[in-house]
Structure 1
Amino acid sequence: MPIRVAAEPTFRDLLADSERAQIGMWVCSGSALVAEICAGSGLDWLLIDTEHSPNGLESTLSQLQAVHGYPIVPLVRAPIGDRIIVKQLLDLGAQNLLIPMVDTAEQARDMVAAVRYPPLGVRGVGSALARASRWNRIDDYLASANETISLFVQIETTDAVANITEIASVDGVDGLFIGPSDLAASMGLLGQQDHPDVVASVEQCIRTVTALGKPVGVNAFAPATAKRYLAAGARFVLVGADVAILARASETLAATFIRPTGLAGPDLSRPSY
């Protein structure tokens, strides 16, 4: 007899069941080994990125397998809000998706349809061939799949900010995630994600989404900024990235052991993403 398995709780479930904000980090290296190291960190969640990282389907699959079994919840960020890509990521077994650059409620509704099987959506049916159902070892996967997937959309432009109430109100969107870097660029403040106007816009988004009863998250590598957004009501925050941590730590080693005393080392406080 085949071993029967159960679907795991989603990131939506984690947020609903926890009384505190969930703290996570990016995995951008494309390495399953690095992802596994990060999975054992004690953090709450990982974001496996396929938008700005050297990740394809195979490496994403390897990272999902590597972190499986650790007490951490992985989200996968799609490279684009495309129904075919969403279908492929779901079939790999990604239960939690983040869709970048969602500017309108119409785009959000399209992504809700993409993650659901008919008649509620348009997801193609291939579960017997896919890790998502553990190759039909999850009982009644087709009937229950819609409940085992959580969907988050990313607010990254001034258009998205203007439409945030409508986007957050879309049924099937489980939460919103704010990207200050692209938002800053959209505001004409490229590279200035800690600019007071950007921070004020992020905080207003947090208040708006929270008032609508949905969880909202944000990217914030600077500890002071992360704490400010947590105080404003952010329910999930990314506070670092594997590649950024390695870059800054290796620069610190060089500054400590190679550079003569008195010469400036790397600027370890500079913002990342």
Structure 2
Amino acid sequence: MILGRGSSPRGLFLKLPAPQIVEMAALARFDFVVVDLEHSALTDADCISLLRVARLAGIPALVRLPSVDRGAINRYLEEGAVGIQLASVTRVDEVVALRAATRMAPSGRRSVSTTNAMSLFGALSLADYVSVAADSPPILVVQIETAHTVDPVASIIGAGADVVFIGSVDLTVSLDFDANEIRERERAIREAAVGEGALLGGMAGADTAWDYTIVGSDLSVLQTALRSVTRV
């Protein structure tokens, strides 16, 4: 488990199809990585490869998705993803669908196979595999990043979110760069998260102490390093 109130784990978005970056993140003692399938050109095969390396390197990996895709989610969980981060959530039914896609029956609709990495390719019995999955359910991270949501934020979180990630960039654009409105919206989201017992997540550098922090991406870290060398 990478989460816990007050533990402040730090993670990195992965946007490049480079397994070496996963290994370097593990060596640099990042707490987790997030394979970003929302803002990158990564393919399904790239994602599977990065998850495999993360599992072998011993660093927890989540996957960020733009929408709920049951088949893709199942493949990623079978390869070792410890959670799913869902972008731009505005409705309760999105969280309900996400939760169902990540849980096996009777708690959800996730399909079951024992020919995958997490079942040790059949070395685990079906009963043991299902039991392990039930005892360690995937982490569900929902991004709230719009000026308004269709359903109340508290209801969205209460539908099953473990972490509420405030998407500061999209929120800033959604509120037309109005600093006061941005602060008020973030305050309301934080209050809703606390009220529902969820952890708070966001990007490093904000004025808020997060329970789940993304420090940047492989691309942003590389860009910073390149500029430091050329002094641009």
With normalisation by structure 2, the TM-score equals 0.87
**Aligned-residue identity in percent:** 25
In 2, the alpha carbon distance for the partners of 1:145 and 1:175 equals 19
- Structure 1 stretch displaced more, 50-59 or 65-74: 65-74
TM superposition shift of 1:58: 1.9
TM superposition shift of 1:186: 2.0
Equivalent residue letter for 1:143: S
Equivalent residue letter for 1:151: L
User: Match of 1:229, SS?
Assistant: coil
Q: 1:90 to 1:254 in 2, by over 3 A?
A: same
**Post-superposition CA distance 1:92-143 (Å, at most 9, x none):** 2212111112111111111111111122211122x22222322133451123
TM superposition shift of 1:71: 5.4
Taking the TM superposition and a 5 Å limit, the aligned residue runs for 1:254-273 are: 254-255=230-231, 265=232
TM superposition shift of 1:32: 0.8
**Residue in structure 2 matched with residue 130 of structure 1 by the alignment:** 116
Does residue 218 (structure 1) correspond to residue 202 (structure 2)? The answer is yes
Does residue 15 (structure 1) correspond to residue 32 (structure 2)? The answer is no
Q: 1:138 to 1:40 in 2, by over 3 A?
A: farther
**Residue in structure 1 matched with residue 145 of structure 2 by the alignment:** 156
Moved over 3 A (4+): 69-72
**Residue in structure 1 matched with residue 221 of structure 2 by the alignment:** 245
In 2, the alpha carbon distance for the partners of 1:177 and 1:161 equals 17
In 1, the alpha carbon distance for the partners of 2:155 and 2:214 equals 24
In 2, the alpha carbon distance for the partners of 1:41 and 1:209 equals 30
TM superposition shift of 1:244: 0.7
**Residue in structure 2 matched with residue 9 of structure 1 by the alignment:** none
Find 1:43's aligned residue among 3, 20, 30: 30
Aligned residues: 229
Q: Which structure 2 residue ranges, 5 or more long, are not aligned?
A: none
Q: 1:203 to 1:24 in 2, by over 3 A?
A: farther
Q: Which has the higher contact order (CA 8 A, sep 6+)?
A: 2
TM superposition shift of 1:42: 1.6
Q: Which structure 1 residue ranges, 5 or more long, are not aligned?
A: 1-12, 256-264, 266-273
In 2, the alpha carbon distance for the partners of 1:20 and 1:74 equals 17
Q: Which has more radius of gyration?
A: 1
Find 1:166's aligned residue among 144, 155, 161: 155
Give the RMSD, CA atoms, in angstroms: 2.2
User: Match of 1:239, SS?
Assistant: strand
